[in-house]
Structure 1
Amino acid sequence: MPDYDRKRLAEALCANEAAFQLNYGLDPDDIHAEPSNVDQVEGSEAALPNLILQKEMMISVATGGQRIQDVNDYYRARHVDLKSSVPALGLSYSNPHDDLWSWYHYWRAHLPQYADRRQYVRELFDPLIAAASNRTSIAVVEREPTGWERVDRALSKAQAQLAGATNEEDFQTVGMLCREVLISVGQAVYDGKRHVTLDGVKPSSTDAKRMLEAFLHSVFPGDSFKEVRGHARASVDLGLNLHHRRTATRQLAELCLEATASTSAVMKILSQNAQAM
């Protein structure tokens, strides 16, 4: 860090801390910077607060608040970070102002009123802030591939879809992909010559629920294993519900993908045991 920036940082830290100098007898020039051992925050946890700070700083300098010369270096550093961190979340950071002087010249030429400047910045940042706030640090547990090519491929697509999802239609697509996963699982384990459906109806090639129930009834008959069968049925129902829910949310998509992945793993274990018998 350059000496000038170190001094400014030290002065800022001590600006409202007269007791600091009184108690320790140190001037700001005595402070030196050292690398931190704290783990760096990444992902949406890092991008979201930076987006909010950038938005508020642009509004502040354009409406009689902070002076550009006092905060421009912070703005520029944050701008560089956002250009790399936001696209990593599957989002687009489209702020055209590399520094606050660029923003100054723009508002002077095009936005004479404070209200116009606030509206411009909000339109620039609010959709991105909303999308970043939708991101979550809770990830679906990664499991070993099942070995069923179509199942593993569709699960991978569903995970990628969830990672980039920002709206209801995106989350609905996760449900559609989860349904495709369970159809492929059903096709992998169901054998029409060996497995009989509970209602006697021969399942179609896309009837995941009947295929899975018939397989499970064969390997886990009786009431003592009804919870295992219920888990598979719930996974199918959740995928169907999410696919058609116009108010789909990220939480529902996460639950659906987790249920689908776990059902796929359970079916793989059972199919291997069934083959060994």
Structure 2
Amino acid sequence: MRISDDSQKEYFSSLVASLRSSGDITTVDLLKKAFPELIDTRYDNWNSGTWFYKLFIYIKLSDYNQLTNEVREKHEGVIFGAYSNLFSDESNVLETVEIKPLIEQQLDWAALKGKETKQSIINRLNREKEYLISSGTGKTRIQDCDKDYIALHLDTKNVLSELMLEHPLDYRTLWDWYHYYSENLSTYRERRKYINETFANVIDIISKSDEIQNDLLKYEPTGWEKIDYSVNLLSIQLVNISDSIDFNHIGLRCRETIILLANEVYKEPLHHPSSYKDKISRTDSSRMLQGYIEYHFKGQSNDEKRRYAKVTNDLANSLTHKKNATLLDAKLCLNATLSLISIIKIINDEISLEANITEICTREDD
């Protein structure tokens, strides 16, 4: 019997369950992000009849581009075998499995150069909706807010254009909107519905798009669990920032991350900075890392390394305490924090390597 559209969902969920139970988590992760489509390609009426199918697995373009031909073909083979095993008899036969890129609206986030985020653009669109609905339902007078609306609309239109999106409603002024609804939308309810429905599609596209903010986070996990977890939270926060409060939260998270970093490597009294005589607080990451850097980059031959590490430490700590932060401040703060983590990780790895070599040499001497 031919597999119905409703049954396809049951088969796909069974496919995922089967692969998970077999331990193939990599393929499961790929399928959980996929959009499957089972197509019946032909029917053979010999011996009670047989339906033949092709299974398409559509994944986002960014995920598809990360797959090599070898890896993709391996996934296709695994899926083919597991899906075929779900058929109870020969009345249904799977012929091929193909993993394909999902063709959908792509937004050019790189063109904005980090000046906007998903949330900030959605906030713009929602403010524009408020102007249109308020003026169209008698809550505000057009002459009181038209100037602000014109500036917002033009700016938002330019931002959407950079993303390769058209503005859903091109009313240059609220008077243009007034002339439209006066002739076409007689009730307040109709006007609210019209605005909400017209903006819904573009907001949905932006919400679901793959923002490139994470390109800023080219971060290699350190193996320090708390620090890696904190950086992961930073990446989530960065994608969703939209105002100065969120920018300051980035600084706060960076400060907490640097404190974790300092406590991971600092050893008292070995790393106590020579210029500071008092006891160092466990939250004084600046002095802790200053002492750590001074200790491991001693001597004139390490002057440049020491200066670079010190400047990075100073910049990161300075930016984490900045009030009324901007998007630029948040990005600089994040980059300085990641650079500082990288420097300290390199030093720590070198220390561990030297210790291992010393231990091996000692064993050989014995």
| TMscore range, shorter length | 0.5 to 0.7
- Residues 171 and 248 of structure 1 are in contact (CA less than 8 Å); yes or no, is this contact kept in structure 2? yes
- Residues 183 and 206 of structure 1 are in contact (CA less than 8 Å); yes or no, is this contact kept in structure 2? yes
1:84 aligns with 2:186: no
SS of equivalent residue, structure 2 residue 348: helix
Q: Deviations over 1:21-68 (max 9, x none)?
A: xxxxxxxxxxxxxxxx9x932556997545882343495763336987
Partners of 1:218 and 1:166 in 2: CA distance: 41
2:293 aligns to what? 216
Q: Deviations over 1:58-115 (max 9, x none)?
A: 95763336987xxxxxx9996453242243479xxxxxxxxxxxxxxxxxxxxxxxxx
Partners of 1:84 and 1:259 in 2: CA distance: 33
One of 193, 199, 220 as aligned partner of 1:144: 220
State the shift of 1:215 in Å.
Answer: 0.7
Give, as a single letter, the amino acid of the residue that structure 2 aligns with 1:151.
Answer: I
Q: Deviations over 1:166-187 (max 9, x none)?
A: 1111110100000001001101
1:233 aligns to what? 314
Residue identity (%)? 23
Give, as a single letter, the amino acid of the residue that structure 2 aligns with 1:253.
Answer: A
Correspondences of 1:126-165 after superposition (within 5 Å) = 139-165=215-241
2:170 aligns to what? 56
TM-score under structure 2 normalisation? 0.44
Partners of 1:179 and 1:211 in 2: CA distance: 13
Whose relative contact order is higher, 1 or 2, with alpha carbons under 8 Å and at least 6 apart? 1
Q: Quick check: which has more Rg, 1 or 2?
A: 2
TM-score under structure 1 normalisation? 0.57
State the shift of 1:213 in Å.
Answer: 0.7
How many residue pairs end up in the alignment? 189
- Residues 89 and 163 of structure 1 are in contact (CA less than 8 Å); yes or no, is this contact kept in structure 2? no
SS of equivalent residue, structure 2 residue 259: helix
1:261 aligns with 2:338: yes
1:274 aligns with 2:348: no
- Residues 214 and 239 of structure 2 are in contact (CA less than 8 Å); yes or no, is this contact kept in structure 1? no
- Residues 190 and 212 of structure 1 are in contact (CA less than 8 Å); yes or no, is this contact kept in structure 2? yes
Give, as a single letter, the amino acid of the residue that structure 1 aligns with 2:239.
Answer: A
Partners of 2:290 and 2:316 in 1: CA distance: 12
Partners of 1:79 and 1:251 in 2: CA distance: 29
- Residues 89 and 164 of structure 1 are in contact (CA less than 8 Å); yes or no, is this contact kept in structure 2? no
Question: Closer, same or farther in 2 for the Cα pair 1:89/1:166, shift >3 Å?
Answer: farther
Partners of 1:59 and 1:138 in 2: CA distance: 37
SS of equivalent residue, structure 2 residue 321: helix
1:187 aligns with 2:268: no
Question: Closer, same or farther in 2 for the Cα pair 1:208/1:137, shift >3 Å?
Answer: closer
Partners of 1:207 and 1:137 in 2: CA distance: 30
54-63 vs 138-147, which moves further: 54-63
1:202 aligns with 2:279: yes
- Residues 162 and 174 of structure 1 are in contact (CA less than 8 Å); yes or no, is this contact kept in structure 2? yes
Q: Deviations over 1:191-228 (max 9, x none)?
A: 11421213233321111011101111111124342222
Over aligned residue pairs, what C-alpha RMSD do you find? Answer: 3.7
One of 20, 41, 44 as aligned partner of 2:107: 41
Answer 1 or 2: which has greater helix percent. 1
State the shift of 1:276 in Å.
Answer: 2.3
Gaps of 5+ in 1: 1-36, 69-74, 91-134
Partners of 1:89 and 1:259 in 2: CA distance: 27
- Residues 251 and 321 of structure 2 are in contact (CA less than 8 Å); yes or no, is this contact kept in structure 1? yes
1:178 aligns to what? 254
Partners of 1:86 and 1:139 in 2: CA distance: 18
Partners of 2:204 and 2:106 in 1: CA distance: 15
Give, as a single letter, the amino acid of the residue that structure 1 aligns with 2:290.
Answer: E
Partners of 1:260 and 1:173 in 2: CA distance: 14
SS of equivalent residue, structure 1 residue 53: coil
SS of equivalent residue, structure 2 residue 179: coil
SS of equivalent residue, structure 2 residue 106: coil
Partners of 2:272 and 2:325 in 1: CA distance: 35
